Amino acid sequence: MSSGKPYPLPAKHKRALVLPALAGAIIVLVFTARYGAGLSPDSVGYLGVARNLMAGAGVQTYDGAAFVVQPPLYPALLALVGYIFHADPLAFAHIVNALIFAAIVYLGGLLILDRLPHLPYLALAGSAAVAASPRLLETSMMAWSEPLFILFVLTSFAFAGSYLSKPDAKSLALLSVSAALACMTRYIGVLLIPWGVLVIAVFGRQRPSIRLMHSGVFAAMAAAPLLAWAARNYAVSGTLSGGRSPSALSLSYNLMLLFREKYHLYILAAVPLLAILAAAAARRAGVGLADTRRSVGTALHGLAPMVLFVAAYEAFLVILSTLVAYDQIGFRLLSPIYVPLIVVVFVLAGVIVDSCRGIPSAKAVSALLVCGIGFWLAGSLCAAFLVGMEAHEIGLAYAGRRWKTSETIEYLRRHPRLGSEHPVYTNDVHAVYLFTGRVFKWTPARTCANSNKLISEASGLRGTWPSEGKAWLVWFDGIKFRPFLFGLSDLRQIAIMKRVTRFKDGAIYVVERRPRG
């Protein structure tokens, strides 16, 4: 993992990084102890795949469809742990998250220590900043694939550093495997393939022919599992990664979403400020500090691959979200760049400390940096505590109190034969599966998710829905994240609806096909 150092990192400094890593794991476990890991529609999909894998049903969703929309590594991990401990994946998802978060915190500090081995306190503070990051904490409390993806991105950074320091077959293989695992966790991990090729070709120290050969080996090894998965997807679904619709969001709107994420902006704002301070300090130090300037140059050179990844990831995310219907850009999609940005900030802080050695204002600059880091950590801890308390007090998404006490869900549990004579439609298939284990049909959709691509007009469904002639409808109130589905007023125009019973959070209806005209 070295970055050109002639000596290994002191073991005691690496051991010290275990403390914030353990703290991070404990934080996740404490805040998720009552309700478990937060659950979104994606989370329910992962759980369904994991349960089917454990049951020997293959890589398929809870409704029996082929799983192609996401890569399989995260649900496969849940299935593996469930198989080992003979437990349902839902019961230990928060424990898996806590362990992954601990590894992220540790690697974040290790990447800083790797570049500033003589400033271990900055590595410890940087590791604490990762553990206290409210956005990373919130992401790690959800049963999402992002934390696992972040872990493989960080191991890719680590093994890239090892390769650039010692370009042997082992470091090249580890770098390739890390990138391959990232690709099999989230499709956007494919970005690591051209990133790795550039890192090897541009920053490698071998002859051009060797760098070209290593770039080819890396690309082939990193892409092979994803290509095999894409071939499987095409064989079972006719698509490489599931059906995709055109985005409803413009380029300007996606750029606005990118820069609306304030925590992301705070870290970005610190980077140029610290870089300017480092340059000013180095210039004031004069020509007598050649060794310091060399160490500064080495540290800055070591940051280049991370900066390249952050810039490429942001650009790719904005372009992808503009072309394809995707989740809106927010803290979840931006979470993979938080740790590299934190590493960049703390390494630049170390550059300033190095550059100021020998000048009269060195102590003042160091004190200013300590105060700035202290305020950052204090603010992050406060924000993380608020995020964690929300998870602890009311739970996150489907894992929350609102769903645990749902009267509509309780009715479905008490009436397991509902739907035995007629099919059941609902505006939240995920919730029904999660809490009852049953699979209902979706109510009709007007457009594709996050897209303006029209599926059907209400007038066109009159006389055709429900296709079975008569059906049940389980309607949940307050489902705000699916505006692409027709609302109750639309469904009343499409079909004849008779309410059977009403609850605080929903209702049960009998629906019959309305005649045309």
Q: Span 168-185, mean pLDDT?
A: 97
Residue 409 one-letter amino acid: I
- The pLDDT, as a whole number, for residue 1 is 44
Contact (Cβ atoms closer than 8 angstroms) between residue 91 and residue 73: no
* CA nearest neighbour of 381 among 133, 97, 136: 133
- The pLDDT, as a whole number, for residue 372 is 77
For residue 512, the surrounding DSSP H or E stretch is strand 506-513
Contact (Cβ atoms closer than 8 angstroms) between residue 496 and residue 505: no
Q: What are the C-alpha distances in Å from 43 to residues 58, 94, 260, 321, 431?
A: 18, 12, 25, 21, 11
CA torsion 111-112-115-116 (nearest 10°) is -150
Instruction: Return the residue matching tokens 């959800």.
Output: 142
Output the CA angle 397-88-228, nearest 5 degrees: 90
pLDDT tens digit string along 198-248? Answer: 999 999 888 999 999 999 999 999 999 999 999 999 999 999 988 888 888
CA torsion 446-450-454-455 (nearest 10°) is -60
Contact (Cβ atoms closer than 8 angstroms) between residue 175 and residue 160: yes
What is the pLDDT confidence band of residue 392, given thresholds at 50, 70 and 90?
A: very high
**Tokens matching residue 315:** 């650009």
Cα 472 from chain centre: 36
pLDDT tens digit string along 249-296? Answer: 899 998 888 888 766 666 666 666 666 666 565 555 554 445 555 655
pLDDT tens digit string along 102-122? Answer: 999 999 999 999 988 888 999
Contact (Cβ atoms closer than 8 angstroms) between residue 144 and residue 332: yes
Distance CA 427, CA 482 (A): 8
Cα 163 from chain centre: 26
Q: What are the C-alpha distances in Å from 372 to residues 255, 353, 379, 508?
A: 29, 13, 11, 56
Residue 435 pLDDT exceeds 80: yes
Q: Span 44-51, mean pLDDT?
A: 96
Q: Span 345-357, mean pLDDT?
A: 79
- The pLDDT, as a whole number, for residue 186 is 97
**Tokens matching residue 207:** 């002859």
Q: Span 82-106, mean pLDDT?
A: 96
**Tokens matching residue 218:** 């890396």
Q: Mention every residue, 6+ apart, whose C-beta is less than 8 A from residue 279.
A: none
Q: What are the C-alpha distances in Å from 207 to residues 73, 176, 193, 203?
A: 36, 20, 21, 11
Contact (Cβ atoms closer than 8 angstroms) between residue 485 and residue 444: yes
Contact (Cβ atoms closer than 8 angstroms) between residue 109 and residue 130: yes
What is the pLDDT confidence band of residue 429, given thresholds at 50, 70 and 90?
A: very high
Instruction: Read off the DSSP letter of residue 246.
Output: B
What is the pLDDT confidence band of residue 316, given thresholds at 50, 70 and 90?
A: very high
SS3 475: strand
- The pLDDT, as a whole number, for residue 274 is 66
- The pLDDT, as a whole number, for residue 497 is 95
Query: Of residues 101 and 249, which shows the higher confidence score?
Result: 101
Query: Of residues 162 and 325, which shows the higher confidence score?
Result: 162
Question: Which segment of 7-21, 113-127, 143-157, 218-232 scores lowest on mean pLDDT?
Answer: 7-21
Distance CA 28, CA 26 (A): 5
- The pLDDT, as a whole number, for residue 5 is 46
- The pLDDT, as a whole number, for residue 410 is 96
Query: Exposed/middle/buried for 218, CB within 10 Å: 0-12, 13-18, 19+?
Result: buried
Is the torsion defined by CA of 325, 342, 371, 367 positive or negative? negative
- The pLDDT, as a whole number, for residue 354 is 74
- The pLDDT, as a whole number, for residue 3 is 46
What is the pLDDT confidence band of residue 298, given thresholds at 50, 70 and 90?
A: low
Instruction: Read off the DSSP letter of residue 204.
Output: -
Q: Mention every residue, 6+ apart, whose C-beta is less than 8 A from residue 403.
A: 395, 409, 431, 435
pLDDT tens digit string along 436-484? Answer: 999 999 999 888 777 777 778 887 888 899 999 999 999 999 876 577 8
Mean pLDDT score of the chain: 88
Distance CA 253, CA 238 (A): 32
